[in-house]
């Protein structure tokens, strides 16, 4: 959810029980504006919250003018002080895949994992148990990246791509109309296209290259893993079965949309 429309976005999300206390909202509203200024971001998104045993992680992401350029991710434990996280790597994903259970809420916490490694001693080769330590901060980076790639979505028309390949916010976007808001084809994965590149020219013939440059939810497998529901007539939500705590609430006729994890 965009920091510039944070209060309205949080109001939309609170309709599903995923709200923040008034003091947290006030702290976020102020601190995210400072993050945007200090890091010189074009936009700042409040990504959501990851619950921990001793503290919760509040996550924000900074975007450049090109909305699909790599994002900077920050975390806070108090919605006031923010720390920059390193970029996610495949090595991090492999390393943290063995860690299960709740987050502690302490980025310096280290998980211990025992694995077998082959050791050469002369002509003999044998397995030796080695204790590997994995920092919670590394796990946090990896989990955020995995959730982004799997379930972060955006309504069609909210972004547009220039002939030079740069993606910008569409200032003329005024929300999805009623005829489109219930269609999965009206939503895209908020990342660089993967499946779209494999489509034939015939399959892409009816697509608008300035708007349809990301992967549509319409072709997700399995079918129907993105249920849409409506609230009080004008509020709609898109959820993901693989990440049930992620939702994207929208309000009919408004450009505001809010992807959030909690």
Which pLDDT tens digits describe the chain residue by residue (262 residues)? 787 777 777 776 665 556 788 899 999 999 999 999 999 999 999 998 999 999 999 999 999 999 999 999 999 999 999 999 999 999 999 999 999 999 999 999 999 988 877 777 777 777 778 888 999 999 999 999 999 988 888 899 999 999 999 999 998 988 888 888 888 888 899 999 998 988 888 888 889 999 999 999 888 876 655 555 555 444 555 655 555 555 565 555 556 655 555 5
Coil, helix or strand at residue 183:
coil
Using CA atoms, how far apart are residues 91 and 79, in angstroms rounded to an integer? Answer: 29
Of 187, 250, 57, whose CA–CA distance to 46 is shortest?
57
CA 138 to chain centre: 17
Using CA atoms, how far apart are residues 60 and 182, in angstroms rounded to an integer? Answer: 28
CA 91 to chain centre: 20
For helices 22-39 and 6-14, what crossing angle results, to 10°? 140
Q: What is the pTM of this model?
A: 0.83
Report how far apart the first and last C-alpha atoms of the chain are (Å, whole number).
13
């Amino acid at each position: 959810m965009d920091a510039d429309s944070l209060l309205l976005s949080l109001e939309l999300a609170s309709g599903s029980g995923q709200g923040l206390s008034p003091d947290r909202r006030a702290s976020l509203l102020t601190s995210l504006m400072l993050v945007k200024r200090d890091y010189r971001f074009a936009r700042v998104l409040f990504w959501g919250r990851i619950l921990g045993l001793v503290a919760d992680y509040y996550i924000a992401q900074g975007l450049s003018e090109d909305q699909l350029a790599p994002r900077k991710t920050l975390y806070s434990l108090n919605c006031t002080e923010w720390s920059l996280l390193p970029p996610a790597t495949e090595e991090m994903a492999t390393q943290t895949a063995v860690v299960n259970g709740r987050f502690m809420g302490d980025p310096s916490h280290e998980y211990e994992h025992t694995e077998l490694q082959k050791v050469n001693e002369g002509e003999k080769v044998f397995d030796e148990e080695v204790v590997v330590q994995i920092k919670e901060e590394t796990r946090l980076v990896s989990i955020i990246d995995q959730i982004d790639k799997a379930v972060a979505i955006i309504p069609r028309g909210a972004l547009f791509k220039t002939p030079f390949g740069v993606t910008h916010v569409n200032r003329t976007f005024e929300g999805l109309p009623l005829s489109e808001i219930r269609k999965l084809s009206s939503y895209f994965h908020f990342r660089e296209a993967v499946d779209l590149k494999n489509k034939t020219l015939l399959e892409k013939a009816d697509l608008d290259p300035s708007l349809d440059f990301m992967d549509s939810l319409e072709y997700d497998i399995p079918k129907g893993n993105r249920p849409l529901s409506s609230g009080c007539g004008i509020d709609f939500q898109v959820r993901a079965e693989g990440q049930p705590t992620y939702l994207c609430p929208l309000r009919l006729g408004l450009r505001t949309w809010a992807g959030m994890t909690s």
